[in-house]
Structure 1
Amino acid sequence: MSPSIWQILIILVIVLLLFGPSKIPGLGKSLGEAIRGFKKGISEDPEIDVTDSAKREQIADNEKAGAGQKAKTKETNKS
């Protein structure tokens, strides 16, 4: 069941009373930008580069391993 013309007019009058005539163009602009951004976000196909994330993980693992080896070296030098 779609809204009748009277229901739409009542909703428009309520919106006009709530926000006032000066803020309605700004609301329409914001709504349009939000819809445009949403459509753009959906239409763009995000490129996921698995090699970059794998490289980052490997670097992080190497840093952790390197930190562990440095700690062992310091312990052996102290004794």
Structure 2
Amino acid sequence: MARLGPMELVLILGIALVVFGPKKLPEIGKAMGQTIKQFKDHANKVSEEPLEDKTSVLKEEESLDA
């Protein structure tokens, strides 16, 4: 798959400007940014949970061995 160059990005932004209008674009950009941030936060939370579970199990095993 080819990467997007500067001309392609300009074309996409131009089409978005025509379709949504200049007043809606900042709102759409803000909503997309919040969505991406929430997705990353939840992805990090999910990836950290198994690590926390493993460390708590290891600590319990060490306390039982002592």
TM-score range, shorter chain: 0.5 to 0.7
Q: Which has the larger radius of gyration?
A: 1
Report the equivalent of 2:12.
11
Cα deviation, 1:3-62, whole Å, max 9, x if unaligned, reads 222211111100000000000010011001101110111111458xxxxxxxxxxxxxxx
Mapping 1:59-70, distance limit 5 Å: none
What secondary structure is seen at the aligned counterpart in 2 of 1:44? helix
Report the equivalent of 1:41.
42
TM-score, normalization: structure 2?
Answer: 0.62
Partner Cα distance (1:42, 1:6) in 2:
32
Letter in 1 for 2:20: F
Report how many aligned residue pairs link the two structures.
47
Q: CA RMSD in A?
A: 1.7
Q: Percent identity?
A: 32
**Higher relative CO (CA 8 A, sep ≥ 6), structure 1 or 2?**
2
Partner Cα distance (1:36, 1:12) in 2:
21
Structure 1's consecutive aligned runs of 4 or more residues displaced over 4 angstroms after TM superposition are none
Mapping 1:21-60, distance limit 5 Å: 21-45=22-46, 46=49
Q: Unpaired runs of 5+ in structure 2?
A: 51-66
